[in-house]
Amino acid sequence: GENVEQHPSTLSVQEGDSAVIKCTYSDSASNYFPWYKQELGKGPQLIIDIRSNVGEKKDQRIAVTLNKTAKHFSLHITETQPEDSAVYFCAEKGALRSGGSNYKLTFGKGTLLTVNP
């Protein structure tokens, strides 16, 4: 079945530094990889996503890279700020059944990012 591994489980950085979170996936047919930010007591919020037809996507201080050959993708946050502190989840969207046309999201276990002022 599909599996998403996420590392590290916790990450502490100083304000202004960069943070990198990495994920690997097993379903080689997956083509959509979103990242979610979850603040305490709230639902996950989509912050950026990447589709397999591109290798990198950037949105202000956030960027994602995708290596389909190696089946891994990463989230990069530059110039971190205290409000970036949250749990970040990677996910991959794979087919419910092999060769099918319905898809489901499978999440990693999350990374607790702490940005110290």
Partner 1 sequence: EAEVAQSPRYKITEKSQAVAFWCDPISGHATLYWYRQILGQGPELLVQFQDESVVDDSQLPKDRFSAERLKGVDSTLKIQPAELGDSAMYLCASSLGLRENTEAFFGQGTRLTVV
Site map 12..51 versus partner 1, x via CB under 8 A: -------------------xx-x-x----xxxxxx--x-x
* Least distance CB 9 / partner 1 (angstroms): 9
* Least distance CB 29 / partner 1 (angstroms): 9
Contact 43, 70 (CB under 8 A): no
Amino acid at 55: G
Nearer Cβ to partner 1 (14/102)? 102
Residue 22 Cα distances to 37, 63, 72, 95, 100, angstroms: 14, 12, 7, 22, 28
